[in-house]
A and B are shown apart, each in its own frame.
Chain A
Amino acid sequence: MSRGALLTLEQTWELAKLWYADRLSPEWRRRTVPETVAAFASLGLTGEFWSLA
């Protein structure tokens, strides 16, 4: 079984800001799969755990 992933609190805060920045916008829409993968990658979150392929 996978041991999962560990993020520092700084990484988690950066992820939260990126993920929720536009949530209250009327134009908000759910990210597509490529957009989600790119968002994670922009914070260095890559590899099998963060993949949606």
Chain B
Amino acid sequence: MDSLLTDVRLYIYGQMIATSAAPGVPETAAALGRAVEDVERAYRTLAEQKALVLRPGTTTVWMVMPFSNMQTAFNVICEGRAYYANCAWDAFGIPAVLERDANIFTTCADCGGVLQRKVACGRLTDSRGVVHFALPVRRWWEDVGFT
């Protein structure tokens, strides 16, 4: 991955972690001191490489895995900040990426009840429950929003 792609990718992650929102192209370009056109191209290239997902037809970040830049049913509270995750796997991915304790909130797909699970000191405090993966791996990127 070339230098600009790495810088853009890490800036997006840094801002997502610090603010719970992914930066747009103009903000990233200004922060990195690079031309908007170059950074826009970097966003598109990172999406082609599946390093992130853009909202269709835009350069707005939708997912920078495991974080979601849009509201989802998977809410993760970590170090006093709230994040959205893309799915149950990614909800656990946030404390994995941040290497911090976290509380994960979602709703049960069966009964609709609120579910809370906690990661503390690198371990689950309550491992009751299962996660359903609907699609086989080879189909995950056919429609990653559905996945």
Which residues of A line the B interface, CB within 8 A? Answer: 2, 4-13, 15-17, 19-21, 23-24, 26, 28-30, 36, 40, 48-52
Contact = CB atoms under 8 A, between A and B. Distances in A.
Place the interface of chain B in its size category.
Answer: 20 to 34
Interface of B: 1, 6, 9-10, 13, 49-51, 65-66, 88-90, 92-93, 95-97, 117, 119, 124, 127-138
A28 B92 CA distance: 19
Contacts, number: 89
Given A19-B93, A30-B51, A24 B132 contact: no
Contacts of A24: 10, 13, 97
Main secondary structure of the interface of B (DSSP, over half): mixed
Most chain B C-beta atoms within 10 Å of own C-beta, residue among A5, A12, A23, A24: A12
Contacts of A17: 92, 96
Given A9-B128, A50-B137, A16 B93 contact: yes
Given A23-B65, A49-B137, A12 B89 contact: yes
